[in-house]
Structure 1
Amino acid sequence: MKPRHKRALLIVAAIAVISVAALLILNALNSNIALYVTPSDVAAGKAPKGQAFRIGGMVKEGSVKRDGLTVHFVITDMAKDIPVAYTGILPDLFKEGKGAVIQGRIDSKGEFIASEVLAKHDENYMPPEAKHALEQAQKNGSAK
């Protein structure tokens, strides 16, 4: 084999290895992406099907019910309510009437099964998406 052919074969092999590595990296990143969706979007059927996503809003007053390690509560954007079930220990800052972002999936009954619950850590902070969603829901709710 001529040196020119060896070099060409080496370049083709390197391109193939880089392509496979890039494909594996993109696949891993895609499977770990969690889209942010509001309760109104979930109620409208705009939530990703069969994929984990994040839902954010306020924990509805009087909705927290404990059943052993499983906690049932309702997350709201003041326009729509979504029931949530979470098995595990909640963050210390998790309270009714406070903001939360929950990651998980919708089950066949329409309940959001959470795999992670994040509580708002400061009175003045709210994720920009959640703040915008709450403002829009309040505008739409007052317009009706």
Structure 2
Amino acid sequence: MYGRKVKLRFLFVIIVLLILILSVFLVLKSLEENVVYFQSPSEIYTSSELDKKKIRVGGMVKKNSILITANEIKFIITDFKNEINVTYAGAVPNLFEEGKGVVAEGFLKDRNYFSATKILAKHDENYMPPEVKAAIEEK
């Protein structure tokens, strides 16, 4: 029916396709673990379930909300509709201040409390992250 050469080519194509599919699967699986979703305080407040995955919460640092202690900093992120209390232990960026945009990465404890592992505010004083700007304009 088919010659030996055709069978070997067909087998080669099948093996290459299987390797390609396996490679794509492994890449997507590894990226899935590193994806961090962005949410505003209003989205967290209205969500039906709380995930234990790492997320990013963005908004503005509420005026007169920054409290600095010996080993942590507490502040409130607001989108001018809802607020979330944030606790962070570590050094904050130089441009972190009240009334400025901020994105905190970490874990949600409940709808009102967020434990940050990283503060992202590495931008000039007039810049607002596009996600934060869209979330504020939407509200």
TM-score by length of 1: 0.81
**For 2:25 and 2:14, how far apart are their aligned partners in 1?**
16
Tell me the number of residue pairs that the alignment of Structure 1 and Structure 2 aligns. Answer: 137
Kept in 1: contact 2:44–2:111 (CA 8 A): no
Change (3 A) 1:52 1:70: same
State how 1:1-144 maps to structure 2 within 5 Å. 2-45=4-47, 49-108=51-110, 110-119=112-121, 121-137=123-139
Kept in 2: contact 1:85–1:113 (CA 8 A): yes
Identity fraction in percent: 36
Change (3 A) 1:20 1:68: farther
Moved more, 34-43 or 112-121: 112-121
Superposed displacement of residue 46, structure 1 = 5.9
Moved more, 84-93 or 101-110: 101-110
Aligned to 1:21, the other structure's residue is in SS state helix
TM-score by length of 2: 0.83
Aligned to 2:20, the other structure's residue is in SS state helix
Kept in 2: contact 1:99–1:120 (CA 8 A): no
Superposed displacement of residue 36, structure 1 = 1.8
Kept in 2: contact 1:70–1:86 (CA 8 A): yes
Aligned to 1:7, the other structure's residue is in SS state helix
Corresponding letter in the other structure for 2:42: S
**For 2:135 and 2:12, how far apart are their aligned partners in 1?**
53
Unaligned runs of 5+ in 2: none
**For 1:33 and 1:46, how far apart are their aligned partners in 2?**
21
Change (3 A) 1:120 1:68: same
**For 2:100 and 2:126, how far apart are their aligned partners in 1?**
11
Corresponding letter in the other structure for 1:34: V
Aligned to 1:115, the other structure's residue is in SS state strand
Aligned to 1:112, the other structure's residue is in SS state strand
Superposed displacement of residue 5, structure 1 = 2.3
Unaligned runs of 5+ in 1: 138-144
**For 1:90 and 1:117, how far apart are their aligned partners in 2?**
6
